Amino acid sequence: MLKSLATEILGTSVEPQLAAEALSPLRGVNRVFLIFADVSNATAARQENSVLAERNGLTERDMIVIRVKGSVAQPLFGSAPPLDAEHLRQAFNVLDGEFRAVLIGKDGTTKMEVREPISAGELFVLIDAMPIRRQESRS
């Protein structure tokens, strides 16, 4: 399962500078999970429900979940400064109405980008394998 997730991750890439610029106020403090909504919102809703059902896990991993739909970038979990939806779409090369889920690490770089929803468990396994997270777990 992780192997297929890694393939999805490596299949598309985002310039780290663009991701860091778009989310710079959160760098070093939070991991950000962006959910870009599809036209019908059905796929995004599945992703949101899966991740938001694990609020304790999100809190434990210092996460903020943000939905980008139309002209609005809205925090669904945690708080974030105002973000420009169009800027985020440009930074991550996502068309309006296209589903995408993107994980940004505390270092401001893109850690994962998928075109199909993933489970909270898969997301947490990926995060827990990151060096910063392993260091946090030891503290």
The continuous run of DSSP H or E covering 51 comes out as helix 42-52
pLDDT of residue 131: 83
Q: In the sheet that 72-77 helps form, which strands lie side by side, from edge to edge?
A: 72-77, 63-69, 31-36, 100-104, 110-114
Q: What is the DSSP letter of 14?
A: -
Q: At what angle do helices 120-128 and 131-138 cross, to 10 degrees?
A: 80
Largest CA distance in the chain: 43
User: Could you tell me which of 109, 108, 103 has the C-alpha nearest to residue 128?
Assistant: 103
Query: Is 116's pLDDT higher than 50?
Result: yes
The neighbouring-strand residues paired with 7 are none
pLDDT of residue 23: 81
Kindly indicate the confidence band of residue 18, based on its pLDDT and cuts at 50, 70 and 90. low
**In order of start, what are the domains of the chain with their CATH numbers?**
2-138 (3.40.30.10)
Rounded to whole angstroms, how far apart are CA atoms 134 and 139?
A: 9
End-to-end CA distance of the chain: 29
User: Could you tell me which of 99, 70, 100 has the C-alpha nearest to residue 85?
Assistant: 70
Convert the pLDDT of each residue in 44-101 to its tens digit: 999 999 999 999 999 999 999 999 999 999 999 999 988 999 999 999 999 999 999 9
What does the mean pLDDT of the chain come to? 86
